[in-house]
Structure 1
């Protein structure tokens, strides 16, 4: 399918800003750029309660922001990890989509402000993500969460972390997870798939940009072969929770997300895979601007509601 007209408008508007590509920025500059561009995503929804919690992790604490919907708890919960190549992004950049998911799915969304690279290289983000998930499972009553009904999810690098958390939970004896919602996830340290070849440039996320993100995330290149960095390379994927995998047609990461869905299915994991035609990487946050972003939000919310029913 041709590039969606709404996606093209996003690309044109972004290019008109005249910003340098991410690989020409420092991490600090790239973080500020993403925060600035987040304001263009439009207004956010009201949620009855938003609370921050400090969660202990190895070497410090991370913030978990809990969005609680209307109604009586305890609620099921989605533990959400934001995208941004493990280098950029934060609670603010994904505030809008977390609010919308909490309302649409009628669940608590617990957004994890994991520590970023290059200040904290692999495996810090993955370990933070797992520690936060385990803490939420252990403190459900304090959070108004039913710890028996937990899911994990995230977009891009956040999808990578969500996949890693499911592997870690299986390998380390819990917590039990009911669903993994992976939105155009990074699943391997590699840049030679067909979607990388066909969409290397021109669609906001580029192959050169992804190399920059990976170079900042990994302490050394060989870490990219570790399963918690590249879930697609995990020797076994059995025993993992059901998966919803969303990909975008004009995304360099499209093929690796779909390859991961295929490997999960081969391992006996129930999988729903949806490729959004005409879409670009990053569209999921654009619920005020792109019709298919709202459709994807609704698909994730419906999967959560069905899982938690």
Structure 2
């Protein structure tokens, strides 16, 4: 196996300086990682009052109640677009609150609301529970759009890391179940393929953020160690027919485990006649824009996402599905 690609200098500095970078992860370390999560303050979440913050209860397919958190521009007088976000955490950790400050900044820049579902985590809740939770949140959000003050014709399905993989799978479910029509998919460094055997996965073993060992821990918690025939929606990277999906934005670092599976996913979308905008950020580690938010590479990545969102939200609304 060849040497790994170099990290951007500002990303190197962040990896060396921060103590919260997860490189490898074993199953017995999941509880400690969960215990270390802290909730942002209300001021951080709302950007000091730019947004109204609310919490909602969403029914799941198995009769449970799922929390959903939402930010809506405080002074909006008409229905606004919404970014329906799925948080990351390798399928085993994370909350809907962690990403809200950065999502709020993005939503402020493009003029939309944010909703984030508190899906249940593996290994306590393996596939298909987390995915069905995400899909339940999407269908509920669209059904309740009027009361929530959002525009059901301008919903963007979004996710980061494991949340990006769940968002991609939810889009596949929506296509095949005739579910809600979303305007697009915003998939940041998505976790897409349980096979965990690409050149980039081997190149980045033991270095950077979220390496092959951590990735196997997450997928094993979600699907089991002896996977056999993996269900179609459990691992989007295995799906061959990616036609008929909402336009998507995908980005990934050149120096991270997920690089090759994300590039392959975009290529397959194009092969199937779909629309995908792909960015491979040179020298980016997994989650680099969170690790080093002030780095030039991180600012460029955020600007690219915001530009794509503005274009998608300004595009004509998709036609509703018949039947």
The two structures have a TM-score, normalised by structure 2, of 0.87
Residue of structure 2 aligned with 1:23, choices 22, 26, 31 = 26
Secondary structure of the residue aligned to 2:65 is strand
Residue in structure 2 matched with residue 271 of structure 1 by the alignment: 276
In 2, distance between residues paired with 1:31 and 1:290? 27
Q: Of residues 179, 184, 189 in structure 2, which corresponds to 1:174? A: 179
Q: Deviations over 1:32-67 (max 9, x none)?
A: 23x25x87xxx6633321111110102311111111
Contact 1:67 1:98 (C-alpha < 8 Å) held by counterparts: no
Question: For residues 20 and 206 of structure 1, what CA distance do their matches in structure 2 show?
Answer: 5
C-alpha distance in structure 1 between counterparts of 2:35 and 2:22, whole Å: 12
Is it true that 1:64 corresponds to 2:68 in the alignment?
yes
Q: How many pairs are equivalent? A: 304
* Aligned mates of 1:207, 1:254 — CA distance in 2: 12
Question: Where is the helix percentage greater, Structure 1 or Structure 2?
Answer: 1
Give the drift of 1:21.
4.4
- Stretch of structure 1 that moved more, 227-236 or 265-274: 227-236
Q: Distance in 1 between matches of 2:162 and 2:291?
A: 17
Once the two structures are superposed, what CA deviation does each residue of 1:102-149 show, in whole Å capped at 9, x if it has no partner? 212211111111111111111111100111001101110111111011
1:104/1:298 contact within 8 Å kept: no
Q: Secondary structure at the match of 1:279?
A: coil
Deviates more, 1:96-105 or 1:77-86: 96-105
2:166 equivalent in structure 1: 161
User: What is the correspondence of 1:190-201 to structure 2 with a 5 Å cutoff?
Assistant: 190-201=195-206
1:117: which partner in 2?
122
Alpha carbons of structure 1 residues 139 and 224: separation in structure 2 relative to 1, 3 Å: farther
Paired with 2:193 and 2:7, the residues of 1 have a C-alpha distance of 25
Q: Distance in 2 between matches of 1:206 and 1:272?
A: 25
* Match 2:95 to one of 90, 93, 97: 90
Gaps of 5+ in 1: none
Residues 1:24 and 1:167: Cα distance change in structure 2 (over 3 Å): closer
Contact kept, 8 Å, 1:160 with 1:186, in 2: the verdict is yes
C-alpha RMSD of the superposition:
2.3
- Which ranges of 4 or more aligned residues in structure 1 deviate by more than 6 Å? 17-20
Where 1:135 maps in the other structure, the secondary structure is: helix
In the other structure, the counterpart of 1:11 is: 15
Alpha-carbon offset, residue 8 of structure 1: 1.0
In structure 2, the residue matched to 1:79 is 84
Superposition TM-score, scaled by structure 1 size:
0.91
Distance 2:57 2:258 in 1: 32
Relative distance call for 1:135 and 1:293 in structure 2 (3 A) is same
Partner of 1:51: 54
With over 3 angstroms needed to count, the CA separation of the structure-2 counterparts of 1:272 and 1:145, relative to structure 1, is: same
2:280 and 2:204 map into 1 onto residues whose CA distance is 15
Note closer, same or farther for the CA distance 1:28–1:288 as it changes in structure 2 (3 Å cut).
same
Residues 247-288 of structure 1, C-alpha deviation per residue, up to 9 Å, x if partnerless?
A: 111111110011001001111111110011111101233474
- Secondary structure of the 1:278 match is coil
* Higher mean displacement: 58-67 or 141-150: 58-67
Distance 1:157 1:224 in 2: 20
Secondary structure of the residue that 2:153 maps to in structure 1?
strand
Q: Quick one: structure 1 residues 163 and 267, their matched pair in 2 at CA, closer, same or farther if it must change by over 3 Å?
A: same
